[in-house]
Amino acid sequence: MPWNPDPLPLADPDPRAQQFLVEMRDSTPLATDVYLPDNVPAPVVLIRTCYDKSSWLTFLPLVAEYLNERGYALVAQDVRGKGRSGGVSEPFTHEIDDGYDTLEWVAAQTWCKGRVAMFGDSYFAFTAWAAMASGHPALGAVISRGIATDIQREVIYRDGTFLYATNSFWATFWLDRFVYDVSPPLDWDHRPMAEIIESWLPGRHSVFFDHVRAAPPGAPYWNADAFAKVNPQCVRVPMLHVGGWWEDFHRGQLRDWRAACQATNAPQYLLMDATDHFDAQLQPDGTSYSDFRETEEGLREYLPRYLDPAIAFLDRELLGKDLPAPALVTVEIAEGGWWRGETWPPQEMEMRRLYLAELEGATGPNAGGVLSGVKPLQEERVEWVHDPQALVPSLDEVPFRDLVGTLPDEVEVESRPDVLSFTAVATQDSLDLLGPVRICLQVHADVRELQVVCKLIDVYPSGRARRIADGACTIATPAPAEPVEFELADIAYRLRPGHRLRLEVAASCFPRYFPVIDSDGDSWMALTGPKVLYSLSTDDIQDSYIEIPVVSGLSLTTS
């Protein structure tokens, strides 16, 4: 059943805001709201958004109220082509120049005291990075959450795999200046997949979606010049990098943080917690979850968790208040506590290799493959069939929002004959995993394009299987003798006593990752495709294994 193709109305501007149309260098007016505290001039926080600066989705009027009470002014702006701003809706393309011109305008106002800070989540955060790349001298500090600067290789594609659910859903925000009511649960069954937006919103077409799906890594990109300028080498100011372990882009975000630390002497703080892209927190099983974004009361209760770390950072780094500096790295260990240090991963981390063994028993309803610290001494092999008409489901109902409710039980997919499952012995004591997870598998298929999807799982004593991390690698013209090697993501997770680690291996995870439908044709336009025989092997020369990051003797706190 298609959704209503008519756009949602723009939210009414907040009466507390002073409204301006700020002209860019090409005379395009950008709608800009200014919220001032009682005492001016004041330090200014600038947020540039594509989601309607007055909407409930951004809740910027509440953010402004919270910042004003603490002495900060807030400037909220609809980016070009969105909300009440002029121009054409083109993501990423104009943010460097428009960021520079907006900073120029803010810095010239009598109510602006000193240098300006930028704050943002997701696309807000990209606009902050772009303004930093513009080199404007008024920018004094940045808080960035939930984005990676390598848009092509960490946000749109990852390891050659198109992030289908994320980018299809996000493409609906770039049809024009409005937001459309594409409400979960989403219908992903439409074929061909190139027309998914039209199937949701009849009569609508996304040029942005055409661009991103057609430009895998290495191909010409429609705004490659802008992307090349937005990178960690442009960092010259203090930054607070905030992310979550179930946040879609945190692998690239951690790479940005590490590169920024090398690029500048300005302090680069890392704060990672057990949250998803919408900052929902990991909930214990059986806990009833209420989405804090659904009510004003919930949002007001959320604001201290959302803004207090940013305000403390700005008080110290932007205003120069004499406050003790925190550790450079603060991370929440899921199911554990908080760890603080000066490096990530921790220096004490040891990469531990677990080999895949007993392969022949790893598929089917009674899957029983093994993860073992002992390398298999003889050749083992297992085969399974990838059927593009019966793709392995990803179980995620809503893109970006993994932790709204609780993570699904992976047992539902582990009973399928096209999902391999390898399980380690139960831990006697807690096992702390902090750092990257790496995969090396001897997977083969006689096809032009091959895809491998892996999930690292926490298996409870009850049998419940919770996803810790996942990733997919898609290889064009795979070499028969080459293993599939890629990095899932960094994790910070405490495996509790009696729990076991499990690795799932499959050839699809839909709609989270774009699948190989027609391995010898165009999967975007295919209605169906042939079944493909996959094999996974290991022997005394070519191993299949996973490397996990183990840290012993952690000193943790509860907050």
**Is the model's pTM score more than 0.85?**
yes
pLDDT of residue 555: 80
- Go through the chain and tell me how many residues it has: 559
**Is pLDDT at 215 greater than 70 in this prediction?**
no
CA 119 to chain centroid, in Å, comes to: 17
Pairwise CA distance, residues 67 & 86, whole Å: 27
Tell me the two tokens of residue 544: 């299949």
* Domains assigned to the chain: 18-149+234-341 (3.40.50.1820), 350-551 (2.60.120.260)
Q: What is the pLDDT of residue 368?
A: 78
The mean pLDDT of 393-414, rounded to a whole number, is 82
- pLDDT exceeds 90 at position 17: yes
Confidence of residue 86 (pLDDT cuts 50, 70, 90): very high
For residue 205, is pLDDT > 60?
Answer: yes
Residues 6+ apart with CB under 8 A from 93: 223, 226
In this structure, what DSSP letter does residue 125 have?
H
Residue among 494, 459, 556, 559 at smallest CA distance from 335: 494
Helix H or strand E encompassing 414: helix 411-414
Q: How far is CA 99 from the centre of its chain?
A: 23
- How many H helices and E strands in the chain? 10, 23
pLDDT confidence tier of residue 227, bands split at 50, 70 and 90: confident
Report the pLDDT averaged over residues 6-21.
94
Q: Mean pLDDT throughout 505-533? A: 93
Residue 182, pLDDT score = 87
- SS3 letters across 259-319: HHHHHCCCCEEEEEEEEECCCCECCCCCCCCCCHHHCHHHHHHHHHHHHHHHHHHHHHHCC
pLDDT tens readout for residues 430-445: 999 999 999 999 999 9
Phi-psi region of 203 (alpha: psi -120 to 50; beta: other; left: phi over 0): left
CA 272 – CA 250 distance, rounded (Å): 9
pLDDT of residue 478: 79
Distance between CA 75 and CA 40 in Å, rounded? 14
The alpha helices in 140-281, defined as continuous H runs, are: 164-171, 196-200, 207-213, 224-229, 250-263
User: Stretch 236-247: mean pLDDT, rounded?
Assistant: 96
Task: Give the confidence band of 288 by pLDDT, cuts at 50, 70, 90.
Answer: low
CB within 8 Å of 274: residues ≥ 6 apart: 244, 245, 246, 281, 282, 332, 333, 334, 492
Residue 245 has which token pair?
A: 């372990």
For the cut 60, the answer to whether the pLDDT of residue 506 exceeds it is: yes
Does residue 199 have a pLDDT over 60? Answer: yes
Q: What residue type is 171 in one-letter code?
A: A
Q: What is the rounded CA–CA span in Å between residue 128 and residue 397?
A: 30
pLDDT in tens, 46-82: 999 999 999 988 999 999 999 999 999 999 999 999 9
How sure is the predictor about 223, in pLDDT bands with cuts at 50, 70 and 90? low
Question: Looking at residue 219, what is its pLDDT?
Answer: 54
Where residue 222 falls among pLDDT bands split at 50, 70, 90? low
Question: How far is Cα 107 from Cα 10, in angstroms, rounded to an integer?
Answer: 28
Task: Determine the average pLDDT of the residues in 365-380.
Answer: 85
Residue that is written with structure tokens 């879609």 in the block: 248
Q: Which tokens go with 208?
A: 């942005």
Neighbouring C-alpha atoms within 13 Å toward the C-beta of 170: 23
Q: Distance between CA 168 and CA 144 in Å, rounded? A: 23
410/403 Cα distance (integer angstroms): 14
Give pLDDT tens digits for 388-403.
999 999 988 777 776 6
Half-sphere exposure of 417 (CA within 13 A, CB side): 7
Using the predicted structure, report yes or no on whether residue 214 has a pLDDT greater than 80: no
Whether residue 218 has pLDDT greater than 60 = no
The Cα diameter of the chain in Å comes to 76
The mean pLDDT value of the chain amounts to 92
Cα separation, 276 vs 287, whole angstroms: 17
Say if residues 458 and 466 touch (Cβ distance below 8 Å): yes
Q: What pLDDT does residue 2 have?
A: 72
Q: pLDDT-based confidence at 274, cuts 50/70/90?
A: very high
pLDDT band at 360 (very low <50, low <70, confident <90, very high): confident
DSSP H or E stretch at residue 348 = none
DSSP string, 87-114: S---TTTTHHHHHHHHHHHHHTSTTEEE
- Contact between 79 and 165 under an 8 Å Cβ cutoff? The reply is no
Q: Could you give the CA distance from residue 137 to residue 484 in angstroms, rounded to a whole number? A: 45
